[in-house]
Structure 1
Amino acid sequence: MKTDPTDPTAPGTGAESARAETGGADPETVRAETVRRLERAMGTLGTASVARMESRLSWFRGMSAEDRSWVGLVAQSGVAAFVEWFKNPERGRPAITVEVFGTAPRELTRSFSLQQTVEMIRVVIDVVENQVGELAAPGGEQQLREAVLRYTREVAFSSAKIYARAAEARGAWDARLEALIVDALLHGDREEGLQTWGSALSWSRTPVVAIAGLLGGQKSEGVLDDIRSLARRAGHDVLAGLQGDRIVAVIGVNEQVSGDEPLAAAAPLSGMFGSGPVVVGPPVPDLQSAAWSARAAVNGLRAAVAWPDAPRPVLAEDLLPERALDGDTAARRQLIDEIYLPLRGAGSPLLDTLSVYLEHASSLESTARMLFVHPNTVRYRLSRIAELTGFTPSDGRGSFALRVAVTLGRLAERDGTAGSR
């Protein structure tokens, strides 16, 4: 006997399968009865979901009353949207983003992380699934359970999409704000706004150092993202901006990782910059003071061409002579204050010994003969110079810095500005 394929009651047809799943009852009749039960239970389900969140999720109990009330509204909207979708299955995929999350403000994504949202969705699913036996019409339990699973899957996908869009928008906003802060620092802006902007980016680490390097032939967005990613993995706060072909990064140092040495924080990041020098500014106590570090790093980067063998990264203070010769007034002032004035204050023997020593090619014997003293006296005076200034006269870089500092100090004395600030 042949089976008529057009007969809806024929074995193997969709209608017969649907009847089998509902115990022989008409699926649409069962669905209609389930919808009536769901409509009566909508308010109870939403309230039960929020109550379950408060009992199971400790972080939810700590949220503000306003945020919890928004979650309750979202839960109620979600249940209502599910009932409407279950009532009209021909609509296809539910419009979760509009019907459910459209009731809450965008700021809610900042109050709850994606992981927390997933936990809340799981609670709602548990509440509904635990009541499937009561909510579904006789024979409609499987039908309702499958619908719940499909709907919650759509909710999960929509949640991920919302958070992805929020992250993308915030990332673009953060990048613009970072560039604004870096630009303000380089232009010497020390207003309170800097601290406010830093707070908006969750800035908390101190001390702060600036790092300057070149972009080279790399793509700017990729380089900045790599610098931010690497710095944050190390526990540092970071701001990064592009100034033409120059990259400036401001780092809030995680001292547990890098200690007090700015080079320790900068060294892992130096590989992210393009070819050429990478200069690290002096550490400062907070973001408002970072303009000093940023300008020192940028001026050091510009002057580093005069020291081809400089290490990478190099401290801006190690480039003081080059920066001073390049017209950096802050570097000139620092050399005078930290080298020339201490030597002048210690008395003429030290300053005279240094001048003769530098003029006679760093020769102890020649210096001793010119000053009519024993070479050991020269040695003692040179060691005192190193203690006072931090620069060793017998060292190549040290003698260079000392020579530049003494020259600048004498010129400043001529102009009457040696002791002024």
Structure 2
Amino acid sequence: MSRRPAPAGSAVLRRSTGRLATAATARMESDLTWFRDLSAQDRSWVGLIVQAGIQSFTEWYAAGQVERVDGASLAASVFGAAPRALTGVITLQQTVDLVRLSIDVIEANLDTLLSAEDLPIVHEAVGRYAREVAFATAEVYARAAEQRGAWDARLEALVVDAVLRGETDEAVLSRAGALGWAGAGALSVVVGNAPEGGTDLFDEVRRLVRTAGLDALCALHGDLLVVLLGGADKPIEAASLLDGLYAPGPVVAGPIVSSFAEATISASAALAGHRASAGWPDAPRPVLADDLLPERVLAGDATAADQLVSQIYLALDNPALVETLAAYLDAGGSLEATARALFVHANTVRYRLRQVADATGLAPTDARDAWTLRIALTLGRQRALTRPL
């Protein structure tokens, strides 16, 4: 720009700052519906931004260096008066509308404020300044989004850590709600090895989960990626959505619980299942933590032992079924040998084994199920012997 601001024009603009700010505020009240819906305090802060923007322009123009604009100083002078939280009250698009409206107000009043000689250079300066304000606005919102994202990530990690430690009180549930957790429906916790790198990992988890209409909270726990899935009434199907994001190794889905307060139950089971999964190298991926009960028992998981006893041994609730199951397992799965040992017909053995399967959901004729039944039977007998009279 070859021409410098005329001193007279600069002085007129500086004296007109209040008038221009008042005109801009009146235009906001009449043209911007969202501005009228703001609280009085927020409207006041927005008004300060507009006033600071107009004042910053007049001072910049009066300084005579209209060929250069310092973006950092511009952002500080225009947005420095407003609290950081205001970026969460008005959107970037709304702020752009403010900038556009303020520029329109300035240009609409120039003809009545300045001489014809000053008008061309001022109009050119307004255009340059408007571009820089737009860049400064984008920078302010980008920085706010980055800071908000970092805070959300820390808060999310704290919520997941509280679930893993069994501290799911109302405060934790409130924090989860602040992160977008709807809190409705069933919940399952999925655990697997975290991939290396992958700065967008959490965003990808949320994208996949939300596509399926579920909620998700996720965090790293050591070298594990822990994901809380809300609304997951079918944990294996929900966990399968995330399977491709985990590193090689087991992916374990905890049992369904009905509320966030019980999320620790699912998380504990999933972690225990992941620790014990090496005992079943051919386990499917993902696998339910409850399908790893035998391995968890051998790894010293008392909760898994309680489940096996209650869900299998006590579920039989018939000495004849227990006796037949034990004999069948001792006979290596031979119906004839079992029948001879019990002095019954082979069909009786078949009938009782079907009753065992109906009561426990496990088929004695399946090798994996037979092993689970064997461990449950052993645990049940041990507890029966130690039960006080």
- TM-score, structure 2 length as denominator? 0.88
Could you tell me which residue of structure 1 aligns to residue 189 of structure 2?
A: 210
Q: Distance in 2 between matches of 1:324 and 1:230?
A: 33
CA positional deviation for 1:374: 4.0
Contact 1:34 1:140 in 2 (8 A): no
Q: 1:280 to 1:58 in 2, by over 3 A?
A: farther
2:124 corresponding residue in structure 1 = 146
2:187/2:230 contact within 8 Å kept: yes
**1:350 corresponds to which residue?**
321
Secondary structure, counterpart of 2:80 in structure 1: helix
C-alpha contact 2:252 2:288 (8 A) present in aligned 1? yes
Contact conserved, 2:10 with 2:61, CA < 8 A, in 1?
no
CA deviation vs aligned residue, 1:12-48 (integer Å, no higher than 9, x gap): xx86xx5xxxxxxxx644x633651x34543343344
The answer for the alignment partner of 1:70 in structure 2 is 45
- SS of the residue corresponding to residue 213 of structure 1 reads strand
User: For residue 333 of structure 2, what is the amino acid of its counterpart?
Assistant: S
Work out whether 1:164 is the aligned partner of 2:114: no
On the 8 A contact 2:364/2:373 being kept in 1, the answer is yes
Q: Given residue 68 of structure 1, which amino acid in structure 2 is its aligned partner?
A: R
Determine the C-alpha separation between the residues in 1 that align with 2:20 and 2:257: 56
Give the share of equivalent positions with the same residue, in percent. 47
Contact kept in structure 2, 1:198 and 1:287, CA below 8 Å:
no
The CA deviation at 1:103 is 0.3
**Cα 1:191–1:417 shift into 2, 3 Å:** farther
2:190, 2:270 within 8 Å by CA — same for their partners in 1?
yes
Q: Provide the rounded CA distance (Å) in 1 between the counterparts of 2:384 and 2:137.
A: 69
Aligned with residue 378 of structure 1, among 324, 349, 355: 349
Higher alpha-carbon deviation: 390-399 or 326-335 = 390-399
Change (3 A) 1:58 1:321: farther
Residues 98 and 397 (structure 1), Cα distance of their counterparts in 2 relative to 1, 3 Å cut: same
The residue that corresponds to 2:297 in the other structure is 324
- Residues 212 and 280 of structure 1 are in contact (CA less than 8 Å); yes or no, is this contact kept in structure 2? yes
Out of 78, 81, 84, the residue aligned to residue 103 of structure 1 is 81
Task: Give 1:33's aligned residue.
Answer: 9
> Is the Cα–Cα contact under 8 Å of residues 5 and 62 in structure 2 kept in the other structure?
no
In the alignment, the residues of structure 2 paired with residue 234 and residue 398 of structure 1 have an alpha-carbon distance, to the nearest angstrom, of 32
| 1:144-293 equivalences in 2 (<5 Å) | 144-206=122-184, 207-215=186-194, 218-219=196-197, 221=199, 223-224=201-202, 226-228=204-206, 230-231=208-209, 236-253=214-231, 260-293=233-266
Deviation digits for residues 319-347 of structure 1, max 9, x if unmatched? 11111121111111111121111212xx2
What displacement does 1:212 show? 1.1
Q: Which residue of 1 aligns with 2:62?
A: 87
Structure 2 counterpart of 1:213, one-letter code: G
In the alignment, which residue of structure 1 is the partner of 2:377? 406
8 Å CA contact retained: 1:179, 1:241: yes
**Is contact 2:5-2:61 (8 Å) kept?**
no
- Shift of the 407–71 alpha-carbon distance from structure 1 to 2, 3 Å rule, reads same
Tell me by how many angstroms 1:219 deviates. Answer: 2.7
Deviation at 1:104, TM superposition (A): 0.5
Cα distance between partner residues in 2 of 1:142 and 1:35: 16
Partner Cα separation in structure 1 for residue 119 and residue 388 of structure 2 = 91
How far apart are the structure 2 equivalents of 1:413 and 1:51? 83
TM-score, normalization: structure 1?
0.81
**Runs of at least 4 residues off by over 6 Å:** none
Q: Which runs of 5+ in 1 are unaligned?
A: 1-13, 19-26, 254-258
Choose which of 110, 127, 134 in structure 1 pairs with 2:105: 127
**Stretch deviating more after TM superposition (275-284 or 192-201):** 192-201
Deviation for aligned residue 1:394: 2.2
8 Å CA contact 1:211–1:250 kept in 2: the answer is yes
Asked if the contact 2:270/2:289 (under 8 Å) is kept, the reply is: yes
SS of 2:359's partner is: helix
What amino acid is aligned across from residue 297 of structure 2 in structure 1?
Answer: A
> Residue 9 of structure 1 corresponds to which residue in structure 2?
none
Note closer, same or farther for the CA distance 1:122–1:359 as it changes in structure 2 (3 Å cut).
Answer: farther
Structure 2 counterpart of 1:45: 20
Change (3 A) 1:339 1:119: farther
Secondary structure of the corresponding residue to residue 190 of structure 1: coil
* Change in 2 beyond 3 A, CA 1:122/1:394: farther
Number of matched pairs = 385
CA distance in 1, matches of 2:357, 2:314: 14
More displaced stretch, 163-172 vs 373-382: 373-382
Cα shift at 1:70: 0.9
User: How far 1:366 moved relative to its partner?
Assistant: 3.4
Structure 2's unaligned 5+ residue stretches are none
Shift of 1:119: 3.0
Instruction: Answer whether contact 1:220 1:242 (CA < 8 A) is retained.
Output: no
Q: Which amino acid aligns with 1:330?
A: T
Deviations 1:177-200 (A, max 9, x none): 333333332222233332133233
